[in-house]
Amino acid sequence: MNFIHIAGNLGADPEVRFTSSGKKVTTMKVATRSRRGKNGEDITIWWRVTVWGEQFDKMISFLKKGSAVMVYGDVHKPEIFTDREGKPQVSLDITAVHLEFSPFGSGKPQNNSGEAQKAAPAPTGPVAPFGAAPMADSPINPYMKAGAPQGKGETFDDEVPF
């Protein structure tokens, strides 16, 4: 197998189909940019990404044309074909093993009307740093009272999942 990891944007909404045996197949067209053109200009490389089954259904429902996405999967042998204008083109296909929302997106999610959505208001008051236990009276855990023991470093056998 030849695995590849790409980051790009969807060129169209994901398309969902079913095989004759009823297996779900979702295809996406992902555009990536590279500076490998003549004189260092950007060129766009299009990838056809295939997702088998329902493993990414919850995520795919949020993906629309223009969404930034990262794909990790098995890359197939490139196929050369002739487009409508008679020019040779290359088809690059990936069978996705893992999908992620890309942190390199525009940061401005768009709704159906194309307008940027309003960001959620930032929490006010004391907020714990990432990975730390919530602070007393913080908006993260409003049920914790000031001065109550926060249980730092304590573990209980009934909380261990194995």
pTM comes to: 0.60
* Radius of gyration in angstroms for the set of CA atoms belonging to the chain, rounded to a whole number: 23
Backbone angles phi and psi of 159, in degrees to 5: -95, -15
Domains of the chain in sequence order:
3-101 (2.40.50.140)
Q: What is the percentage of the chain residues whose pLDDT exceeds 70?
A: 63
Task: Read off the pLDDT of each residue in 68-75 and give the average, rounded to a whole number.
Answer: 94
Ranges 3-7, 117-121, 124-128, 150-154, most confident: 3-7
Of 3, 1, 2, 62, nearest in space to 28 by CA: 62
Average pLDDT over residues 38-64: 89
- What's the pLDDT at 52? 95
Contact 34, 45 (CB under 8 A): yes
Q: What distances in angstroms separate CA 15 from CA 49, 57, 64, 98, 132, one per listed residue?
A: 11, 12, 10, 18, 41
